[in-house]
Structure 1
């Protein structure tokens, strides 16, 4: 047999093989699209994956119609309508450049919820913490938006979507994450043409709970047999002093009014409330048709995030009357960006472990909280150990908050053998209480031995998110990265590079040795902070692409078992020294240095090619642009008044230049730095 005769082309491969290749390429869209052009058979196979989910961003009626027309045309040309299983909508529909009627009257609710989402995106962190929910704050009024009317201009703007839904014979899921209320025409279309389609409503909220009877359309939406999953942002009492009954109404729906509702996410937050409006909450009178105790729901997923510290035991007791907690597969307690210091206390963990049962639980996401602002809680660690020991072995576990070796041991011994996904994110509250005991707690720092212990206890681990302490790229830090190569099945790794130094304030035995220049107090930031602390912070925060690639290479060089598919790096903690204000004077520099990265393996069989992308790049470039403009205006003002600009000589910049000296080509300090290379 000659070499040429042994060769086969894509045309010769059986459909089963093409299907396997396509499923492998789904994680890398460019390769999937390229493969679809290789042959008619490849195009036929890949269409199932390419058109499986269609994402649509909503902005105005004209753009929505244009997008839907393009989708319909593509589906018609490729005969792919049968492949569409999921439609996803996000954004906000504006009519004539203004908010739609159902949102025009709203002010505070839109400001509180929408603004925090926009802010979260402008920081760039939303690209790093893709699953994190930003927690609203500030003024918030519950019932300040009108209900969308059937056949109104806003409702009719969704007519192209209604037409699209009629064309999709196998539509199974519809995700709705728009700020507008879900349109009546779309609900009617689901009921008539897609009665088995599951509706995932990510902006659910009832606006007429103050009425004697809620608006009929709101009840129709809330009790729809299509409603499968909801996310609801709510507060106990709004800025006007009105009680928010949305969570209580959701419990009524779960109890039986919404027959197919299986997943609920409650985003709890505290609205600004004047002290004159403090009072006992009004009693909830219930939704029409609800009979207390008549039935119990069967949620498979319950997430209570945000400000849960004080209300969690009562909330869980109430939820246990509305749904059978034994049916839960997924449970989230606490969490959300902006609520790091609020979570599940030791007392609550003890109550849960002794009163609740979760026999079918597979995924647990929990934010822990010492809750020791007023008084020390010496039993916290014991209570956490008991909590994790009381839960059956999990497949996925995410724990943030105060951790220690005993808690880590309880997690690994109780769940290590079954875990496929593990996220450990140590955190301590930076707040100190005046005239009370001084907090000495420091976020747990994982050692190499603990990482090896984790590897030994978790043989099935495929995804890991964990914190690594930056130590100026020295050999110990490099050895920490190398340890991750020992995880046999690991395919996704998320490293939080911790650049903080809480020992400066919280450890009285901490006495670093600095030279004469580094030992000088950094007056701008506080007499107790030395310039050496600032210089070391800058070195640790400086994470450029070269360093990111080095971390990838040192992990993959001797990787056992499965190849690592992705590495996400989040650089954070710079300027945190154990309180809430210590690093404020150098945050502009830290924000530029602290870059985050996503490295992914491009699927090829013959060589290891990676793609490297800076996460939050646009947000950083916008900050840098504004910073340059501010520097130029300040320099021009000072020169106009005969004053030589000195902002480049202030303490933090002096520490910066000790690491990265000024050279004759320097125009902007932002372009003058580079990470210290990893030491072998």
Structure 2
């Protein structure tokens, strides 16, 4: 049977598989024949993305889209529309701080671990714009999109990820023409909570029966010194004021300048219609950023507003750079004793020892009991102080059902005075740990894990080969760990360096850092395309079962030695060129081993190169450069170190 003789249903199934596996192949498939073209249209047009910048651009975009839909008779194919960008009128003046970029990183669009690029400590103002008025010039500027929704389309989901306010005319069209459509508002925010009674349109949007998903950024106090009560308002919305709200994502910010005011925070006035004692039935709750999880209070507040037994997904992520604010042993103990999560299948948490000042000897027991509170998880992500006993407890309880697993162990770096003498070392995964994963997680499909770099040694290569023995594994993300905390935390640490490499890099500033240790750091964080390809091939050539479809490599931890002391800018300028991240994707054909390789965060690296040019053109901290050149001497009189280095091969 030839491709052209297949029935339409099978051709549509092929098109759907191509859309998931390799979008460019879908376009090629649609051009194969008129039958393939007809089968591809529902897939091509089922999800549409519209990026807005101004009224004219929006009109042109929608007009061209409507023309294509009319020409192919494809209006009936649309299921989801995503709106991104920011529609700003030319004469519109925005007061205060910009709300559309306070927490975005400009160069992290290619994120390594599929996490939202968020800067929780940027400038942020909650009351910087007035509420959009019905039939105003700004509202009418959305007319092209409103008209598109007025066509006969079976819209199921509207994703609003636009930095402009959601327009009243669009909400009205949803209510009238698409009452079953789910609204996913990813830039939600109340702007009039200090009025006493919020603006009527804000309440109409917040309590809309269309509202299904909300992502809200909030803070205790913004950069202007104004109290922000969006968190309190969100807790009340989920009790039933927003009747169909199922998913809430809270980004807890700590804005720059928010500590300038020393006045006590004002009292919160409840939303109109809120009834104390009612609890909502959210399916998904994500608390991220500066979430206060070291004590149970934050979760106790949420427990008064939602029924945790209804949750299917839970994220408790308090990881913030060098500051860890994850679940403490005290909070985990409260959860174990008071809460139940019978329906949670997806869990993402950051945990913390919380023992910088006082030892917390029962942390491990609390963590193991906490993970046993959940039943048969299918997706699990853990960040924080993990040790072998915690990992063993997690795999014994959840390993048989896990399809997606992320393990990112780290320890807290102490900052300030009155800190105990900490000796904890970050846990790293040995060959035996990877073999244990293989044995106890038989259906695992996606894995994110930390691999300790060891100068591309035979033992390091052996760990990569072990990943190939995971039968169902199809997507793998490796955090290539380049830190060495033993330098300051392990009194028994005695590396076998020669006499020259035993010397401190700089006796005055870094007496604890030997030249040999800095050498190892440079070698370990140097990940060029040749080494990355070698890791991909080592895993792929040893792969059993289904082939590996995707591999991400992310060097991390260079310059971390278990102390808060920071190395000079010259070190950072070198490392940002050596530590490159890579994405490998297999070409989705059974008869080929071809793959594509892309450097992730390349734009960010090049932008930082330009920013740090003074440290590259006029090297300071000469000892660091001498160590670098002892590994990679200048080639043919080269003055640019970026032309001289290469990774140690496996």
TM-score, structure 1 length as denominator? 0.91
Q: How does 1:431-442 map to 2 (within 5 A)?
A: 431-442=414-425
Q: How does 1:545-624 map to 2 (within 5 A)?
A: 545-585=529-569, 586-624=571-609
CA distance in 1 between counterparts of 2:294 and 2:276 reads 21
The secondary structure found in structure 2 opposite 1:114 is coil
Could you say if the C-alpha distance between residues 62 and 485 of structure 1 is closer, same or farther in structure 2, counting changes exceeding 3 Å?
Answer: same
Match of 2:59 in 1: 65
Query: 1:58 Cα deviation (Å)?
Result: 2.1
1:269 equivalenced with 2:256 (yes/no)? no
Which one is further off, 15-24 or 396-405? Answer: 15-24
**Quick check: 2:293–2:299 contact (8 Å CA) kept in 1?**
no
- The equivalent position to 1:283 in structure 2, one of 267, 292, 302, is 267
Could you say if the C-alpha distance between residues 80 and 665 of structure 1 is closer, same or farther in structure 2, counting changes exceeding 3 Å?
Answer: farther
- The equivalent position to 2:440 in structure 1, one of 442, 457, 469, is 457
**Quick check: 1:307–1:339 contact (8 Å CA) kept in 2?**
no
Which one is further off, 73-82 or 498-507? Answer: 73-82
The secondary structure found in structure 1 opposite 2:135 is coil
- The equivalent position to 2:131 in structure 1, one of 133, 136, 147, is 147
Aligned residues: 646
CA distance in 1 between counterparts of 2:109 and 2:384 reads 19
Query: 1:527 Cα deviation (Å)?
Result: 1.9
CA distance in 1 between counterparts of 2:215 and 2:270 reads 20
The secondary structure found in structure 1 opposite 2:195 is coil
**Quick check: 1:432–1:439 contact (8 Å CA) kept in 2?**
no
Could you say if the C-alpha distance between residues 241 and 93 of structure 1 is closer, same or farther in structure 2, counting changes exceeding 3 Å?
Answer: same
**Quick check: 1:598–1:615 contact (8 Å CA) kept in 2?**
yes
CA distance in 2 between counterparts of 1:631 and 1:474 reads 30
1:251 equivalenced with 2:235 (yes/no)? yes
In the TM superposition, what whole-angstrom CA distance separates every residue of 1:145-199 from its partner, at most 9, and x where no partner exists?
2111222222222111111112252111111112211111111111111111111
Query: 1:612 Cα deviation (Å)?
Result: 0.5
The secondary structure found in structure 2 opposite 1:121 is coil
Match of 1:397 in 2: 380
Could you say if the C-alpha distance between residues 649 and 413 of structure 1 is closer, same or farther in structure 2, counting changes exceeding 3 Å?
Answer: closer
Query: 1:142 Cα deviation (Å)?
Result: 3.0
1:17 equivalenced with 2:7 (yes/no)? no
1:415 equivalenced with 2:420 (yes/no)? no
CA distance in 2 between counterparts of 1:221 and 1:323 reads 21
Could you say if the C-alpha distance between residues 486 and 617 of structure 1 is closer, same or farther in structure 2, counting changes exceeding 3 Å?
Answer: same
**Quick check: 1:576–1:583 contact (8 Å CA) kept in 2?**
no
**Quick check: 1:135–1:267 contact (8 Å CA) kept in 2?**
no
CA distance in 1 between counterparts of 2:640 and 2:442 reads 48
| Unmatched segments (≥5 aa) in structure 1 | 1-7, 635-646
The secondary structure found in structure 2 opposite 1:518 is helix
**Quick check: 2:294–2:327 contact (8 Å CA) kept in 1?**
no
**Quick check: 1:133–1:337 contact (8 Å CA) kept in 2?**
no
Query: 1:282 Cα deviation (Å)?
Result: 3.5
Match of 1:178 in 2: 162
**Quick check: 1:307–1:343 contact (8 Å CA) kept in 2?**
no
Q: How does 1:163-202 map to 2 (within 5 A)?
A: 163-167=147-151, 169-202=153-186
Match of 1:74 in 2: 68
| Unmatched segments (≥5 aa) in structure 2 | none
In the TM superposition, what whole-angstrom CA distance separates every residue of 1:56-87 from its partner, at most 9, and x where no partner exists?
22222222222222211221222222111111
Could you say if the C-alpha distance between residues 125 and 354 of structure 1 is closer, same or farther in structure 2, counting changes exceeding 3 Å?
Answer: farther
Match of 2:29 in 1: 35
Which one is further off, 575-584 or 32-41? Answer: 575-584
TM-score, structure 2 length as denominator? 0.95
Q: RMSD across aligned C-alpha pairs, in angstroms?
A: 2.0
Could you say if the C-alpha distance between residues 315 and 626 of structure 1 is closer, same or farther in structure 2, counting changes exceeding 3 Å?
Answer: closer
CA distance in 2 between counterparts of 1:362 and 1:10 reads 40
1:128 equivalenced with 2:122 (yes/no)? no
